């Protein structure tokens, strides 16, 4: 006697995601399809099996006992598939894609990357610039570097803090000498990055300084453009220490008031529960590099003089 044909894989996957979220809308978001597409797949699966898997009003669907049993088995099955794929990938030369803040990539990550390549010649790292919130259900990245407030691990993402976060004002030596006062700095053109427009407000509150409105403000699309404008003497800017450390070490930029530590941290994000030897190695390398990365120097003066 012939065995019945198995249900379509897409329908099984759609049902498993719905069962995990208990929401057609959330399932559609994870699968990058429409609400209706998930609903049709679940209905198709019920028809194929001849079993009622969900019941209740359209906007308050719940799993039946049969649906709950099937969902539990499917969840284990898809986890096993993911682990098997990760194990197979680990046996071959791997390329991992890392989504990273552009200025952090230019100023911190890429200058250190040869060390990772030398230690792991079997792993290729592809760095992709992005400032957007990462969604591993939508984005193809294997990991992401962002500046975020530390938070507990979720069922979607794992977070590893690998560096503290400091911010402070800086400029070219010609306009921001080490003896600069806050009053004198307040009269200089104030530079902003469109990716973090509130930088001056955040810093002034952090260090307890009241800054009058700027006489001249200039905005740039990204931090790296703003930093270059500051180095060219176009005004004073604020950015994370990691973005400007090489330029301050070389004397190209000066930070007369130093850098204040913020509650946010530089973190590595990865999909929760996804086993991947290459991503593990990259995360561990970031943690090691972050531990030996020099912090900001103690300033000769401070906002209070």
**Residue ranges per structural domain of the chain:** 9-89, 94-155+270-292, 166-263
State how far Cα 216 lies from the chain centre: 32
pLDDT of residue 109: 97
> For position 168, what pLDDT does the model report?
94
- Per-residue pLDDT tens for 4-15? 777 888 888 888
94-155+270-292 has which fold? D-Maltodextrin-Binding Protein; domain 2 (3.40.190)
DSSP letters, 12-29, are HHHHHHHHHHT-HHHHHH
Tokens 């400007």 identify what position? 244
Judge whether 94-155+270-292 and 166-263 match in fold: yes
Residue 193 has pLDDT above 50, yes or no: yes
Q: Extract long-range pairs of 33-42: CB within 8 Å, 24+ residues apart.
A: 38/14, 41/8, 41/10, 41/11, 41/13, 41/14, 41/15, 42/11, 42/14, 42/15, 42/18
Tell me the pLDDT band of 151, cut-offs 50, 70 and 90: confident
Q: What is the mean pLDDT of the chain?
A: 88
Residue 263 CB neighbours (<10 A): 9
In this predicted structure, the answer to whether residue 153 has a pLDDT above a threshold of 70 is no
CB distance 6 to 111 below 8 Å = no
Inform me whether the pLDDT recorded for 241 exceeds 90.
yes
For the whole prediction, is pTM greater than 0.75?
A: no
> Helices (H), strands (E): how many in the chain?
11, 10
Q: Which residue has the higher pLDDT, 114 or 22?
A: 114
Instruction: Tell whether the torsion through CA atoms of 133, 138, 143 and 149 is positive or negative.
Output: positive
CA distance 257 to 277: 42
Whether the per-residue pLDDT at 80 is higher than 60: the answer is: yes
Give residues with Cβ within 8 angstroms of 240, minimum separation 6.
104, 147, 165, 166, 167, 266
Q: Is 122:94 a contact under the CB 8 Å cutoff?
A: yes
* pLDDT tens-digit readout, 84-130: 766 665 555 589 999 999 999 999 999 999 999 999 999 999 999 99
CATH topology (fold) of 9-89? Arc Repressor Mutant, subunit A (1.10.10)
- Cα–Cα separations (whole angstroms), residue 265 to 8, 53, 234: 44, 44, 29
Give the class (CATH, top level) of 166-263.
Answer: alpha beta
- Answer with the residue of higher pLDDT: 54 or 161: 161
What is the C-alpha end-to-end distance of the chain, expressed in Å?
89
Question: Measured at the alpha carbon of residue 94, what is the angle toward residues 93 and 95, in degrees to the nearest 5?
Answer: 135
């Amino acid at each position: 006697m012939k065995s019945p044909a198995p249900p379509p894989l897409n329908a099984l996957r759609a049902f498993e995601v719905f069962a995990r979220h208990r929401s057609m809308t959330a399932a559609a978001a994870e699968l990058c399809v429409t609400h209706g597409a998930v609903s049709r797949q679940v209905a198709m699966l019920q028809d194929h099996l001849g079993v009622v898997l969900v019941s209740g009003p359209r906007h308050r669907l719940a799993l039946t006992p049969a649906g709950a049993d099937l969902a539990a088995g499917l969840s284990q099955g898809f986890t096993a598939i993911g682990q098997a794929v990760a194990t197979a990938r680990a046996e071959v030369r791997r390329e991992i894609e890392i989504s990273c803040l552009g200025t952090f990539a230019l100023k911190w990550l890429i200058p250190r990357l040869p060390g990772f390549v030398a230690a792991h010649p079997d792993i290729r790292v592809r760095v992709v610039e992005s400032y957007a919130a990462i969604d591993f259900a939508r984005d193809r990245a294997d990991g992401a570097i962002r500046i975020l407030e530390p938070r507990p691990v979720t069922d979607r993402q794992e977070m590893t803090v690998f560096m503290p976060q400091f911010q402070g004002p800086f400029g070219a030596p010609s306009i921001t000498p080490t003896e600069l006062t806050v009053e004198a700095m307040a009269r200089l053109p104030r530079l902003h990055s469109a990716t973090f427009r509130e930088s001056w407000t955040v810093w002034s509150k952090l260090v307890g300084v009241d800054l009058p409105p700027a006489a001249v403000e200039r905005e740039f699309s990204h931090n790296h453009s703003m930093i270059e404008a500051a180095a060219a003497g176009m005004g004073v800017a604020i950015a994370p220490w990691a973005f400007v450390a090489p330029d301050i070490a070389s004397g190209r930029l000066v930070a007369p008031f130093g850098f204040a530590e913020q509650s946010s941290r530089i973190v590595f994000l990865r999909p929760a529960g996804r086993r991947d030897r290459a991503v593990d190695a990259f995360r561990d390398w970031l943690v090691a590099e972050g531990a030996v990365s020099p912090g900001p120097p103690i300033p000769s003066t401070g906002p209070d003089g």
